[in-house]
Amino acid sequence: MIVHEITRTESHPTYAALQAQNLARQYDFLRSMLLASVELGFAAITHEFIHALNSQAVGGLHRYAGAYRPKGVEVYITETDHKPAQSSELLGLMNDFVDTINREWTATDPFTLSAYSLWRLNSIHPFENGNGRTARAICYYVLCRKIGVWLPGERTIPDLIKDYHEEYVAALRIADAAFKENRIDVKALAEFLIKLFELQIKNEAINLIDQSPEREGT
């Protein structure tokens, strides 16, 4: 059963409920893979990992969950008004994406590399659906893996992006504009991620203080 083919809308309660469950599973999967990667000393991004993250996000909701858009399934516009690649171009673009992340792994700082992964996957838009959710998951994985730990915080950067959506889209548009000029510029997006990182850590610290025995006794 493919829920969207029955509901024909993402606003249907059944679709929304399954989407929320999928995102929770994706988050658990992402954390498990990060911990396994640290334990094994393996940091490379692979096509299979990207496919799995998309499958976790939209499995049961859309027909091509976990697969790059096949021929005939095109996405004509993104939330930044950017027209993504045609399906025939996806494999080459995704090969370049994976190669770039892995090649720049040791040379590029955590926020710049995670910003690049967030922007570029959104720009390519390789899946029929769930591209934003998959890009945010990859971004967070890259950041946590580069730092070497699963970052603490009840509300993570992927959650916080939704609270600052206009700022997020503006940063993506800057990167899109630079790319049209044959430049890579994710500085604004990296600065945006630093802001959310600091907010995530700050919120976690506040939660720990609020939950401390001394605080509870006041």
Q: Which domain holds residue 62?
A: 3-216
The pLDDT of residue 16 is 96
Q: Report the CATH number that the domain containing residue 129 is assigned in CATH.
A: 1.10.3290.10
Give the whole-angstrom CA distance, residue 205 versus residue 75.
41
The pLDDT of residue 183 is 97
- Quote the tokens at residue 194: 């630093």
The pLDDT of residue 10 is 93
Give the whole-angstrom CA distance, residue 170 versus residue 104.
25
The pLDDT of residue 210 is 63
Across the 218 residues of the chain, what is the mean pLDDT of every consecutive 10-residue run?
Answer: 94 96 97 96 95 98 95 80 90 98 97 98 95 97 97 94 96 96 98 97 78 53
Instruction: Please write the tens of the pLDDT for every residue from 145-171.
Output: 999 999 999 899 999 999 999 999 999
The pLDDT of residue 106 is 96
- The number of domains in the chain is 1
Helix-strand-coil split of the chain, %, nearest 5? 65, 0, 30
Long-range contacts of 191-197 (CB under 8 A, 24+ apart): 191/111, 192/115, 192/164, 192/167, 192/168, 193/111, 193/114, 193/115, 193/118, 193/139, 193/143, 193/157, 194/111, 195/164, 196/157, 196/160, 196/161, 196/164, 197/111, 197/143, 197/151, 197/157
Q: Are 152 and 99 in contact (CB under 8 A)?
A: no
The residues, ordered by sequence, that sit 6+ positions from 68 with a Cβ below 8 Å of its Cβ are 51, 87, 90, 91, 94, 126, 127
pTM check: above 0.85: yes
The pLDDT of residue 213 is 55
